[in-house]
A and B are shown apart, each in its own frame.
Chain A
């Protein structure tokens, strides 16, 4: 279960889960209701019951056709008997007010009514057309015309219900009057379609019309569930508030309060306005979640606690969810919770174990260990852990992971390994810090030509890389590993890290200035950069490539374009918007204007207002938490889709 399952999915699943429970009482009370029947009143000719057997099962739809027929024929006794029957079947129902005014249909319409009764709407339409071609003045009775229009509308809505919501909405918009206010099934279909196409207020109005009408209790509950599935929760809340209350103050929607609570939790997880679940409701939901075998429910409570930063509680819920077979998203929540609890070692294990099932776990695994590898004072990491990390980094071609390993190797004086990892990192993610590390390693390994090539290639782009040429010391302060001797041979068991007291290396770090620098140069004189070092004409594209291991190198038939012949590479850098000032600018050297005319150094600016990025930064500012933005938590996922819909809750 994700931090926030798509609310629609939650509610849809909830609806699926709840449907049997809702339908059951209605069926018990009305055993004959689902059976489509045709009732003939007056001899053979008079139709009485709606025809579509598919939709006549609709719960909550009271079929008044027979009643209206008897009323129109002024058959008062039968009418009264039908009213009594319907009241027995549908306790909340009361007879429509317009029965007295119904006009009897003319006898010559009998064959047409027969067609209607049989559900042969197309034939009926054809018969009307045929009749009118003979007798243009003839019109079907108002009753027949209205019923035909609504029945046609109803069947076209039903036919479109599995298709594009745009089509359903177009049907409705073309003739809103054709929607029978008592046809709850069509109302739901259309409202769902309206909501799916963004017309949420219209959808709301339709859902509300069910609550305003005479629909039975089951249909009213189902309407709330539909609304929670398809509307924003604050709109659904307006419908929930319409619930009738019994004298004890209990809402008629109490039977689905678990669903309502679930939807409120989901809305909270999406930062959408909704009522906060009351303590009794939340307690009831927690009890239900504990009892059910469904890990998505405990997982939901895990994300709920996580979002409220109740990480201990979140841990308990996520653990329960995992124990019940929770999926990779539950594991993702667990790993993030462990990370928040500073149990990063455990978080790493969880993310690693679940890396194949959700790519987010893989990235979390890479990022968790990358952080440790690049700490100013990297912790001891067991060889086996590093090896498995290296495998994942290679398999995922992760630039982040590669530079993490590279820095770790560099900081422990394993320069050959550092170089190879930096090469991969620069092939996959040549950002400033990665290229800087690469250049630094080349320099340390005295690979002068490739080093100069890299520095020159990124002239104008990465000040820190170019700075390598301009700083006083080459190589900087010695690394602790260099001070203390050679690194241990590979594979040797490392000593226990935590127990051993750390040596105090600071004292040995006094940096001896180089002789020419110690002489005290004037401030604005450039460092002695060798003429042969900078600027050099170098190829300006990055040639490093490390394709995935599984890639067959056999080229498909055909050929590629030749790289266009370029003039000699330029020696003076252009200004790049978003890159900082170059170190040599402080000595008065200038860059050419950028492609857009920019001639001053300029950064990239900060987070645009309205982005999630800006929110995350603001949040971090408030909590004074460290920058951990890469550990962003999904706001919603699809894991709920794996929920088998047939699973019910008690």
Chain B
């Protein structure tokens, strides 16, 4: 287990979500989206340069004082506010209409029976989390991808928020979320810019989103809202979930709902072999919980389509899915312009399956075959064309994934060496290791008994 400095595996997680082939699509002319978000502020009414004022504006006498946010507002006047407002309205709402009726189960509570055990607290007071925090979570709340030029991304922020909830560390959660929204919520919608590089001007490197990052953050916010009853987390979770449900999920695709990896670059219009999917963006345990905040979507159908696509994406002799898959035709195939690899992304597929407690034994079979061989100390990156390893992921944290699968499928106890996180590894293997521990504690805690 001392391979952490293997030159091949160490850190070089190619984070290029947008390969060279994609650039062509990106260079197509597209209208600049500088207008404000649909439905959002119709542009500031601030002066816009040399132009006539746009019609009569409200006289100042009609603009009441806007309270400054710092002022503590007494909170008990909520119902009174209704009355006050109504008394000044020409056509008030009948009180019977506006005022809630008899006490009943709040919708959120009703939806609280969403499938799946809760994440919060599942990590307990694990020293591994504190070690993780001290190594990857900055004081400002940024999760540093130590193997990728110390950049940050929405995926890492989402993982950090999930782990903070699992560890019951609310202060850390708020820090991470605070940084995330302050630095990645720069789009004109409710999704996050996916990539942030600390030494670049501007630090946001790409306005496109990464749908898995959005999903992870929305899920973490949902769990945090459940755990701590913080309304602002629920509000934010809903904003994000409704938005990626609307903008990146093709609910009516013949394959079943498809998760587009991003708003831009992967659709049938963007690519000749589009739509493209990445199976590791099906964060199955998230879909089991998002009905808490966005009940209008059929999340169960998203889970089903992911499992179905996995069953139909057994490429080559190894029967493994590639990172990027073309869902253009009825038959799925490795996407054009990408090496047909089972790699950094796709190793998360069995993690999410086991974490959600779904899938049949045969769904895990190709991963178990791949990981059950003699080489248990590193994971192969496989060329699905010939089924051979082309590279190895040698940091020990990665091997928590095979351990989780063996635990979920056979009840195999976690190896002692994997019950806590080893120092000196990079962001990605360490994160996957902690996530696998959380998944095991939630789904099959018996594997972690002494």
Judge whether A328 and B107 touch: CB under 8 Å.
yes
Question: In the bound complex, how far is the Cα of B60 from the Cα of A495, in angstroms?
Answer: 11
Asked if A426 CB lies within 8 Å of chain B CBs, one says yes
Residues of A within 8 A of B251 (CB): 612
Q: Which of A66-74, A134-142, A485-493 contacts B (4 or more CB under 8 A)?
A: A485-493
Asked if A578 contacts B33 (CB within 8 A), the reply is: yes
Q: Is the CB of A610 within 8 A of B42?
A: no
The answer on a CB contact under 8 Å between A394 and B69 is: yes
Chain A positions within 8 Å of B88 at CB level: 382
Interchain CB contact under 8 A, B16 and A596: yes
How far is A642 from B181 in the complex, measured between Cα atoms in Å? 34
Name the A residues within 8 Å of B448 (CB-CB): none
Q: Which residue of chain A has the shortest Cβ distance to B198 in the bound complex?
A: A566
- Cβ A569 vs Cβ B110 within 8 A: no
Q: How many residues from B make CB contacts under 8 Å with A? A: 159
Stretch at the interface among A25-33, A86-94, A220-228, A432-440: A432-440
Q: A541 near B: Cβ within 8 Å?
A: yes
B266 contact set on A, CB distance < 8 A? 608
Verify if B169 is at the interface (C-beta below 8 Å from A): yes
CB-contacts of B235-251 with A (<8 A) = 235-236, 238-239, 242, 245-251
Q: Which of B49, B62, B174, B245 is within 8 Å of A497, CB to CB?
A: B62
The answer to whether B41 touches A404, judged by C-beta atoms less than 8 angstroms apart, is yes
Closest Cβ neighbor of A476 among chain B residues? B47
Task: Report the bound CA distance from A353 to B77 in whole Å.
Answer: 12
Choose one: A3, A475, A577; the contact of B47 (CB below 8 Å). A475
Q: Are A359 and B66 in contact (CB under 8 A)?
A: no
With A494-B64, A502-B56, A608-B269 in contact, is A420–B207 under 8 Å at CB?
A: no
Say whether B133 contacts A325, CB under 8 Å. no
- Kindly state whether residue A481 has any CB partner on chain B within 8 Å: yes
A403, A462, A484: the one contacting B59 at CB < 8 Å is: A484
**Are B69 and A560 in contact, CB atoms less than 8 angstroms apart?**
no
- Write the nearest CB–CB distance from B353 to chain A, whole angstroms: 12
Please state if A380 and B58 are interface contacts (CB–CB under 8 Å). Answer: yes
Chain B: minimal CB distance from A107 (Å): 45
Name B113's closest neighbour in chain A (CB-CB): A641
Question: Taking A421-B66, A609-B267, A632-B242 as contacts, is the C-beta distance between A412 and B60 under 8 angstroms?
Answer: yes
Q: Is A557 an interface residue (CB 8 A)?
A: yes
In the complex, how many angstroms separate the beta carbon of A298 from the nearest chain B beta carbon?
13
Q: Given A357-B107, A480-B60, A578-B33, decide whether A2 and B81 contact each other with a Cβ distance below 8 A.
A: no
Given A461-B186, A609-B267, decide whether A380 and B57 contact each other with a Cβ distance below 8 A.
no
B417 at the interface (CB under 8 A from A): no
Chain A facing B: main interface SS = loop
Contact call B140/A433, Cβ cutoff below 8 A:
no
Are the C-beta atoms of A579 and B207 separated by less than 8 Å? yes
B84 contacts A431, C-beta separation under 8 Å: no
B45 touches A376 (CB 8 A): yes
Q: Are B201 and A569 in contact (CB under 8 A)?
A: yes
Contact yes or no, B291 A354, CB < 8 A: no
Contact B41 A403 (CB under 8 A): yes
B198 touches A540 (CB 8 A): yes
For B169, the chain A residues whose CB sits under 8 A away are 556
Distance in angstroms between the alpha carbons of A602 and B24 in the assembled complex: 12
Judge whether B138 and A325 touch: CB under 8 Å: no
Check A577/B107 contact, CB under 8 A, given A359-B234, A502-B59.
no
B197/A329 in contact, CB under 8 A: no
Within 283-300 of B, Cβ neighbours of A (below 8 Å) are at: 291, 293, 295-298
Contacts of A487 in B (CB 8 A): 60, 63, 65
| 20 sample A-B contacts, Cβ–Cβ < 8 Å, listed by A number | A170-B360, A197-B304, A388-B78, A396-B235, A407-B46, A411-B57, A416-B68, A430-B185, A477-B53, A556-B169, A576-B207, A577-B207, A598-B23, A605-B270, A608-B267, A610-B268, A612-B246, A630-B40, A632-B242, A635-B297
Contacts of B113 in A (CB 8 A): 641
Complex Cα distance, B38 from A511, in Å, reads: 31
| B87 to A: closest C-beta gap in Å | 9
Q: Report the separation of the CA atoms of residues A596 and B369 in the bound assembly, to the nearest whole angstrom.
A: 36
How many of chain A's residues touch chain B, expressed as a range? 35 or more
Q: When each residue 190-213 of chain A gets 1 if its CB lies under 8 Å from chain B and 0 otherwise, what string results? A: 000000011000000000000000
Chain B interface SS verdict (over half)? loop
CB-based contact B82/A349 at 8 Å: yes
Q: A388-B77, A403-B41, A427-B181 are in contact. Are A642 and B205 (CB under 8 A)?
A: no
State in angstroms the CA–CA spacing of A579 and B265 once bound together: 15
Contacts of B374 in A (CB 8 A): none
Check if A250 is an interface residue, CB within 8 A of chain B: no
Question: Which residues of B have CB within 8 Å of A380?
Answer: 58, 62-64
Contact bitstring A1-27, B, C-beta under 8 A = 1, else 0? 011001000000000000000000000
Judge whether A78 is part of the interface by a CB distance below 8 angstroms: no
Closest to A347 in B: B93
Give the most central of B107, B113, B264: most A CB within 10 Å: B107
* Interface: B390 (CB within 8 A): no
Would A606 and B31 be within 8 Å (CB), given that A327-B104, A558-B133 are in contact?
Answer: yes
Q: How far is the CB of A11 from chain B (nearest CB, A)?
A: 15
Chain A residues lying within 8 Å of B424, measured Cβ to Cβ, are none
Tell me, in angstroms, the Cα distance from A3 to B296 when the chains sit together. 9
Residues of the A chain whose Cβ atoms lie less than 8 Å from the Cβ of B97: 319, 322-323, 334, 346, 350
Q: Which residues of A sit under 8 angstroms from B73, Cβ to Cβ?
A: 387, 390-391, 394
B98 touches A610 (CB 8 A): no
Segment of A35-43, A122-130, A145-153, A546-554 in the binding face: A546-554
Interface residue A360 (Cβ < 8 Å from any Cβ of B): yes
Q: Which chain B residue shows the least CB distance to A511?
A: B50
A110 interfacial by beta-carbon distance below 8 Å? no
Residues B87-140 near A (CB distance < 8 A): 88-89, 91-93, 96-102, 104-108, 110-111, 113, 130, 133-140
Given A359-B108, A387-B81, A432-B34, A460–B248 Cβ distance below 8 Å? no
A412→B207 contact, CB < 8 A? no
Beta-carbon contact of A461 and B47 below 8 Å = no
Given the known A-B contacts A548-B230, A627-B38, are A363 and B238 also in contact in the complex, defined by CB atoms under 8 Å? yes
**What are the residues of chain B within 8 A of A188 when measuring CB–CB?**
none
A381 touches B104 (CB 8 A): no
Distance between Cα atoms of A471 and B46 in the complex (Å): 14
B69 interface neighbour in A414, A421, A607, A635, Cβ under 8 Å: A421
What B residues does A81 contact at CB under 8 A? Answer: none
Which residue in chain A gives the minimum CB-CB distance to B59? A503
Q: Chain B interface: which of A45-53, A254-262, A285-293, A367-375?
A: A367-375
Whether the pair B100, A357 counts as a contact (CB closer than 8 A) is yes
Give the contacting residue for A391; candidates B34, B65, B75, B195; CB below 8 A: B75
Looking across the interface, which residue of chain A has its beta carbon closest to that of B22? A596
Contact A604 B30, CB 8 Å, known A329-B107, A509-B53, A636-B295? yes
Q: How far does the Cβ of A49 sit from chain B's closest Cβ, in whole Å?
A: 37
A362 and B206 alpha carbons, distance in the complex (Å): 31
* Given contact pairs A346-B98, A409-B66, A480-B53, a sample of 20 additional A-B residue pairs in the complex whose CB atoms are under 8 Å apart: A319-B97, A329-B107, A346-B91, A378-B45, A385-B84, A386-B64, A397-B235, A410-B44, A427-B182, A460-B202, A489-B65, A495-B62, A556-B130, A561-B133, A576-B204, A578-B33, A604-B208, A609-B268, A630-B38, A637-B107
Binding stretch for chain A, among B252-260, B394-402, B436-444: B252-260
Q: In the complex the two chains form, is A471's CB within 8 Å of B49's CB? A: yes
**B60 surroundings in chain A (CB, below 8 A):** 412-413, 480-481, 484-485, 487-488
Q: Is A299 an interface residue (CB 8 A)?
A: no
CB of A473 closer than 8 Å to a CB of B:
yes
Give A350 to B99 CA distance when docked, in angstroms: 7
Least CB distance from A605 to B in Å reads: 4
Would you call B107 and A432 a contact (CB within 8 A)? no
Q: Does chain B have a CB within 8 A of A506?
A: yes
Looking across the interface, which residue of chain B has its beta carbon closest to that of A375?
Answer: B42
Which chain B residue lies CB-closest to A502? Answer: B56
The answer to whether B170 and A367 touch across the interface, beta carbons within 8 angstroms, is no
